[in-house]
């Protein structure tokens, strides 16, 4: 900070381009911009980069472009961030420095993860790990492996993720003990996926406290959101709503609109599951879904559309409900599975509301769940999606009881019992 103070300039009399002082000023501004972004003030950091742009040296331009991409990501402008990472890549490939070139792939992997593009995220983080190996930066390599563990979790590979987290914790303990709290947060992810919701909330509470103590408001708010998710999965809707509101307020204050919108979606999902209904509530969900679409934020867009459709169906406002359910199953991972099951459930509810046969959708939903359990193992996937499985089976049992044969009724009674037995105790 002292270096920055010594390099203040009058906007009418900036450092002379091409001088050593101009280069040093630009470098210090980039460092300060990084610090501001990490502390939750990415917008101010971007203004510092605007100031530095006019006199940065050509061989340093890759760093400036990369820092702009990083700040845009931190402020929630994900598509813009990807554009600037692409601008920075050829500069850094030629001029370096090598650590920033590796960091580009590392940071871009995080953006792809935020966009739900998990395979692209994995490709980028693998490249970052290769580069960190080559230039021998152990702490950055450990950070990259930590992100790889998170991507394994997102893809539903819980065993791989836990193995990597154990190794990463050991590396953090050696190279940067302050980073161990991040591992606690990801252990929370793993606990959530296997249905240990309250234990996950405890892990995230520890992570929240550690990040607040360190002045890291951004990650404290993100873990606050995930603690709300744990409460929601545990069916504690009031607690989940309180924590999600706190997270949303903090995220909005920091300019992290995408995560703030996810917190808002969680609040609405909790209210729906707690029995909220009526056209006004349905309209709230539709507005949120439209806002996500308008901003190009795809990570939870389909989840929002499905919730909007279900809210409209519950409110007996069927106009446009089918259009909200036109998405398709989007690949591997826990979130994709939950989205697919919810879509089949919503389509079945719509069929019932229209006095049509819901059984094709109900069968397809349970078949999807069985397919995932066969592929990934029942333990890893049963916890977070069991409630959806039970709803699908219960609706099938109700329909066959009223409209099916005794044999069909017994078949669905068995499927319903099978889903109930999978609920974690």
pLDDT at 103 over 90: yes
Query: How does the average pLDDT of the chain come out, rounded?
Result: 83
Of all residues in the chain, the percent with pLDDT exceeding 70 is 82
pLDDT at 352 over 90: yes
The tokens for 337 are 């599975």
pLDDT at 387 over 80: no
Q: What is the pLDDT of residues 55-71, one digit of tens each?
A: 766 677 788 888 888 88
Contact status, residue 176 vs residue 139, Cβ threshold 8 Å: yes
Contact status, residue 179 vs residue 163, Cβ threshold 8 Å: no
- Taking the C-alpha atoms of residue 235 and residue 227, their distance in angstroms, rounded to an integer, is 13
Q: Residue 53: its pLDDT value, please?
A: 64
The tokens for 196 are 């240990």
Q: Residue 19: its pLDDT value, please?
A: 66
Q: 208: pLDDT confidence band, cut at 50, 70 and 90?
A: very high
Domains and CATH numbers, the chain: 176-276 (1.25.40.10), 283-325 (no CATH), 328-425 (no CATH)
Left if phi > 0, otherwise alpha if psi is -120 to 50, otherwise beta: which for 255?
left
Omega before 97 cis (within 30°)?
Answer: yes
DSSP 14: P
- Of residues 291 and 399, which shows the higher confidence score? 291
Provide the residue count of the chain: 425
Cβ-Cβ contacts under 8 Å for 384 (sequence gap 6 or more): 192, 193, 195, 233, 334, 338
Contact status, residue 224 vs residue 250, Cβ threshold 8 Å: yes
pLDDT at 423 over 50: no
Q: Residue 131: its pLDDT value, please?
A: 94
């Amino acid at each position: 900070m002292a270096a920055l103070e010594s390099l203040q300039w009058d906007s009418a009399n900036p450092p002379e381009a091409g001088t050593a002082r101009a280069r040093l000023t630009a470098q210090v501004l980039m460092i300060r911009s990084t610090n501001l972004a990490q502390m939750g003030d990415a917008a101010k950091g971007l203004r510092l980069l605007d100031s530095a742009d006019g006199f940065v040296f050509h061989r340093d331009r890759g760093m400036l472009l990369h820092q702009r991409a990083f700040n845009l990501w931190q402020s929630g402008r994900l598509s813009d961030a990807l554009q600037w990472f692409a601008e920075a890549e050829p500069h850094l490939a030629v001029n370096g420095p090598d650590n920033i070139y590796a960091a580009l792939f590392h940071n871009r992997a995080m953006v792809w993860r935020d966009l739900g593009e998990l395979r692209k995220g994995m490709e980028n983080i693998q490249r970052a790990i290769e580069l960190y190996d080559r230039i021998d930066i152990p702490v950055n390599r450990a950070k990259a492996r930590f992100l790889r563990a998170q991507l394994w979790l997102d893809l539903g590979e819980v065993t791989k993720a836990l193995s990597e987290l154990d190794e990463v914790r050991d590396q953090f303990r050696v190279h940067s003990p302050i980073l161990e709290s991040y591992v606690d947060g990801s252990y929370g992810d793993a606990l959530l996926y296997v249905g240990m919701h309250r234990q996950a909330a405890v892990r995230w509470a520890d992570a929240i406290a550690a990040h607040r103590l360190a002045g890291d408001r951004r990650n404290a708010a993100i873990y606050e959101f995930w603690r709300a998710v744990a409460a929601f999965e545990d069916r504690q809707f009031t607690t989940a709503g309180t924590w999600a509101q706190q997270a949303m307020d903090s995220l909005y204050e920091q300019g992290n609109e995408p995560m703030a919108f996810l917190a808002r979606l969680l609040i609405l999902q909790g209210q729906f599951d707690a029995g909220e209904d009526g056209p006004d509530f349905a309209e709230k969900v539709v507005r949120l879904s439209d806002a996500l679409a308008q901003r190009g934020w795809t990570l939870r867009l389909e989840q929002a559309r499905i919730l909007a459709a279900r809210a409209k169906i519950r409110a007996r406002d069927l106009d446009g409900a089918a259009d909200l359910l036109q998405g398709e199953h989007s690949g591997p991972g826990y979130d994709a599975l939950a989205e697919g099951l919810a879509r089949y459930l919503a389509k079945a509810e719509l069929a019932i509301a229209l006095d049509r046969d819901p059984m094709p959708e109900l069968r397809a939903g349970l078949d999807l769940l069985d397919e995932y359990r066969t592929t990934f193992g029942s333990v890893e996937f049963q916890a977070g999606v069991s409630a959806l499985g039970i709803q699908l089976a219960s609706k099938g049992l109700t329909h066959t009881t009223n409209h099916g044969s005794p044999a069909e009724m017994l078949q669905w009674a068995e499927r319903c019992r099978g889903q109930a037995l999978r609920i974690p105790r």
